[in-house]
Amino acid sequence: MTTDNSMDRRTFIQAAGALAAGGALAIGVATYVAMRPGAADKLVAHRHSGALPIDNPNADAWLDLDHFPVTMLMQQITTPHPSELAVPELWVRAMHNGTDIAFHLEWGDTDVNDMDKMVAFRDSVAVQLPVAEETDATAPKTSVTMGLAPVAAQGTTPATPGQTVHILHWKASWQYDVDKGRRTVKDLFPNMYNDVTPEGLLGEANSLVFYPGVFAGNSMSARERKSPIEELIASGFGSLTTHEKQQANGKGVNEKGRWRVVLSVPMDSGDATKAKVRAGTSIPVAFAAWNGTKQNRGARKQYANWVPMEVEA
């Protein structure tokens, strides 16, 4: 499945023909898409020398790479389900420099959702890697369903070990936090009035208890944000947990109705609970995407099954 503006080269030539014949609609979008190479037939993490362009999703180093189109599916394995297929396709590019690996994900979304607030949901995207080393990237043993919880008979310790996955999760709202600073309630609701706040009365340190998410150390509530990407681990649905060691970074931008997001992480974090990516191997990678306009969040998402990715030597 492809979106209207994720056309391949041939479609673009046809479209260009139509334009030449007199239809002058959407020149901007068509040109924007056409300036790039075509679709790759396999996903490759290309070897790059020097620092990876993780701060600039529009860098030539990224856009000169063929994109690998990944078909997304509505998540319908566990409840709740999304109401419709809101992100039908992701374009994936990847590169590494032997130390870090970075993914470049691109998809159509004309309506930016970069707020976390009541009845409003953010756009976001995620990359999933198995923590255990997979010998066959085309047939991974780790379940794509965010890993698998350990199986145990009632009252016993698990006989079957669980499978853990390592997830990189970029959030448009966190990108906003990093770029422009965390929105206050006044930013979200300009007419909101609050005559007395705990911090106003008790000072910052003593008021924390009145911000339970902050007090509990929840990553959602963090007041200082250095990266738009959160590293998580999971062993099955509902088990997603913020990793205690946050090392991922990257950047997302939305221009001309498309998100381009770079997610970067060390290939070997030295932590056994994270995925280890070795140059010269092939590893399975899976993806998920959320569209805030369609009230996507949590399991209400689009996902893709494991895709084998060659990590250039």
Partner 1 sequence: MAEVNNWQLGRTMQYPYPENRPRRQIAWVFDTNKCIACQTCTIACKSTWTWGSGQEYMLWNNVETKPFGFFPVGWDVELMNVLGPAKWTGGKLESQTIFEGLPAGERVKGWLPAEEDWASPNIGEDEPVGVAQQGSYIPSMPHNEMWFSYLARICNHCTYPGCVAACPRQAIYKRPEDGIVLVDQSRCRGYQECAQGCPYKKVMFNNNTRTSEKCIACFPKIEQGLQPQCVTSCIGRIRIAGFISPPGQVNPQNPIDYLVKVKKVALPLYPQAGTEPNVYYIPPMHAGRDYLHQMFGPGSDEAIKTYQNTKNDPELLGLMMLFGSTERIMHRFRVEGETAIGMDENGAELVRVPVREPSWVRTYFDEVRGAYNHNIT
Return residues touching partner 1 (CB under 8 A): 76, 78-82, 116-121, 173, 184-185, 188-189, 192-194, 196-199, 207, 210-218, 220-221, 237-240, 295, 297-299
Question: Minimum CB separation from partner 1 for residue 73, in Å?
Answer: 13
**In the complex, least distance from residue 44 CB atom to partner 1, rounded to whole angstroms:** 33
8-state DSSP, 39: B
Measured from the CB atom, the residue of 235 and 282 that comes closer to partner 1 is 235
- Integer Cα distance of 67 and 62 in angstroms: 9
Q: Would you say 123 or 134 has its CB closer to partner 1?
A: 123
Which of residues 135 and 197 has its CB atom nearest to partner 1 in the complex?
197
**Matching residue, tokens 């996902």:** 303
**Structure tokens that stand for 203 in this block:** 């000072």
Q: Fill in the amino acid letter for 279.
A: A
How far, in Å, CA of 105 to CA of 229, rounded? 13
User: For residues 16 and 14, what is the distance between their CA atoms, to the nearest angstrom?
Assistant: 5
Phi, psi at residue 109, to the nearest 5°? -160, 105
Candidates 126, 58, 121; CA nearest to 90 is 126
Q: Residue 178 corresponds to which tokens in the numbers above?
A: 């990093």
Q: Which of 156/193 has CB closer to partner 1?
A: 193
Write down the least CB distance from residue 5 to partner 1, Å. 28
Q: Are strands 43-47 and 302-311 parallel, antiparallel or unpaired?
A: parallel
Q: Which of 32, 211 has the CB closer to partner 1?
A: 211
Phi, psi of 180 (to 5 degrees): -120, -5
To partner 1, the closest distance from the beta carbon of 210 in angstroms equals 4
Nearer to partner 1, 13 or 220 (CB): 220
Rounded to the nearest angstrom, the gap between the alpha carbon of residue 81 and the centroid of all alpha carbons in its chain is: 19
Name the minimum Å distance from CB 301 to partner 1: 11
Residue closer to partner 1 by CB (options 17, 200) is: 200
In angstroms, give the least distance from the CB of 194 to partner 1: 6
In the beta sheet, which residues pair with residue 233? 166, 241
3-class DSSP state for residue 298? coil
**Least distance CB 63 / partner 1 (angstroms):** 33
89-96/229-234 β-pairing: unpaired
For residues 283 and 134, the answer to whether their CB atoms sit within 8 Å is: yes
